[in-house]
A and B are shown apart, each in its own frame.
Chain A
Amino acid sequence: MKIPLTFVLNHQKTTFEIDPWQTLLEVLRNQGRKTSVHRSCEEGECGACTVLLNNKPVNSCLVLAASVQGASVMTSEGLVKNGRPHPLMKAFTDELGIQCGFCTPGMLMNAYALIQDAGDTVLTDAVIRKALEGNLCRCTGYINIVKSVMVAQKSKLAGEWW
């Protein structure tokens, strides 16, 4: 039996008809067409499906969609504003934090939460690596990913952010 699910998706109140056994990953991709949320291991190991649930990064493959009733969910599509890529996205392209791109949307969401929560505290290499330990990059482009996050935080501290 389908059930209605209402939550805030990328700043907009949204309602979908879902099966109660669907994961948030499936609903975001199938009903929501948010295909930046990548399906990969489906066991919480890789982080490619990371989204923000009430501003906290979670693996959407390990969340039952029915449990986000009334919550707020953000995918990397939600970072784009008026067709313009978010400064975080720009940092990843400028610093070559992207190779094949498969892990990127998950990395972006985790990094976004990290930078948002850090406030004025400058993020160190160690802090960034610890925060991103649940996101695997099989191109092993971690050095540039860490650099991208640092550059993105500089943009934020310079007022270039939303």
Chain B
Amino acid sequence: MPDTYGNNTMMTTRPANNFIGSRAMPELVYNAPETMQDLMDLISTHGPFAKIVAGCTDFIPSIRTGRWRFDPGLNLIDISKIKALNRIENKEDILKIGAGVTLTQILTSPVVRASCPVLTQAVEQMASLQVRNTATMGGNLCMASPAADTAPPLLVSDAWVLIQDAQGSTSVPVVDFFTGPGQSILTPGQVLTHICIPKIKAKESAGFRKIGTRTAVIISIVSAAVKIRMDGDLCETARIAFGSVAPTPVRVAAAEQFLAGKPLEKRVIEKCAGMAADEISPITDLRASAVYRKDVAETLVKRCIMDCLEALT
């Protein structure tokens, strides 16, 4: 059974049963707009019956495995040739990252490393070099996998995305973007154009960790990100987010609030990590059991907070 509707398009049908092996690509019409204007024209011509892609590293495997199926005649819109979406802009308080920017561009960007090191950390642990060379962060978010590794860093950074459609551009916090496994607030005919991330400031620190069945080229069993802002010896505010423990990437509000105004000593960190694990109800699947996920989540929060403290000293 397909677990999604091919995100953001209306052209999905059910896959054939009992088929082992690689399924054929659907007959498609390839469009590669070079400007935003051409993109919006294509969207208004084909409306919901078009599929937007960037790196295709989720799109093609989803077809090959039979998770998504499209009718022949699919209008594919490849946004990777739009120069305006291929830039990392270093603004005064934020980084503005285009939806066409590849994971390799993010990983090798000194600006990202300086202003949002937690994102660099996460991207470093994603996929493989070959995949990172074409995959985008926009695609990672729009795929809306509960395991999307760029989501926890963006959640703890209070990032937002810009979404464009025929009516214009709107801005949505990442925390409101995901609505379910494989689902986001994007509706057919909408395109995610940019990801905006507030830069890390003095007295702030953030960290990301992920656990999989091995250390490379693996989907997370649990991923976690933490960001803290210190005021002297006390934690002023905290953000804690997880991947792979809920239908969407999530923040855990009670654990975050617990840290506010407290000294980050061992007892406090342990209590907070326990609260964070209590706030989630992960599922058991073929990668790990719910119990194991809770255990790992607790440990990852502890380690991430300690990473943050270490980075601040």
Contact = CB atoms under 8 A, between A and B. Distances in A.
Contacts of B129: 57, 110, 131, 133-134
A59 B32 contact: no
B28 A133 contact: no
Nearest to A49: B130
A: interface residue count bin: 20 to 34
Contacts of B104: 56
B298 interface: no
Contact of A43 (B26, B61, B78): B61
B56 A134 contact: no
Contacts of B163: none
Contacts of A131: 129
A98 B205 CA distance: 45
Contacts of B131: 44, 59, 62, 134
Interface in A44-76: 44-45, 47, 50, 53, 56-59, 61-64, 66-67, 69
B284 interface: no
Interface string B64-104: 11000000000010101100000000000000000000001
Given A43-B64, A66-B32, A59 B25 contact: no
Q: Which of B57, B64, B76, B130 has the most CB of A within 10 A?
A: B130
A129 B60 CA distance: 26
Given A56-B104, A64-B78, A47 B30 contact: no
A64 B59 CA distance: 11
Contact of A57 (B64, B78, B130): B130
Contacts, number: 88
B30 A58 contact: no
Given A22-B25, A45-B217, A59 B30 contact: no
A21 interface: yes
Contacts of A133: 128-129, 216-217
Interface residues of B, number: 29
B61 A23 contact: no
A19 interface: yes
B133 interface: yes
Contacts of A50: 130
B128 A134 contact: yes
B64 A58 contact: no
Contact of B30 (A44, A56, A64): A64
B313 interface: no
Given A20-B29, A23-B25, A58 B130 contact: yes
A15 to B, nearest CB: 16
B217 A134 contact: yes
B27 A62 contact: no
Contacts of B28: 20-21
Contacts of B308: none
A3 interface: yes
Contacts of A135: 128
A42 interface: yes
A110 B80 CA distance: 23
Which of B65, B78, B131 is most buried by chain A, counting CB atoms within 10 A of its CB? B131
A58 B60 CA distance: 14
B127 interface: yes
A135 B61 CA distance: 17
Interface in B113-135: 127-131, 133-134
Interface in B1-45: 22, 25-30, 32
B25 A134 contact: no
Nearest to A131: B129
Contacts of B130: 44, 47, 50, 57-59, 62, 110, 134
Given A42-B61, A130-B216, 15 more contacts: A3-B30, A21-B30, A43-B64, A45-B217, A56-B104, A59-B131, A62-B131, A63-B134, A66-B78, A67-B30, A67-B56, A67-B81, A110-B129, A133-B128, A134-B217
5 contacts: A42-B61, A44-B130, A53-B133, A57-B129, A133-B217
Interface of B: 22, 25-30, 32, 55-57, 60-61, 64-65, 76, 78, 80-81, 104, 127-131, 133-134, 216-217
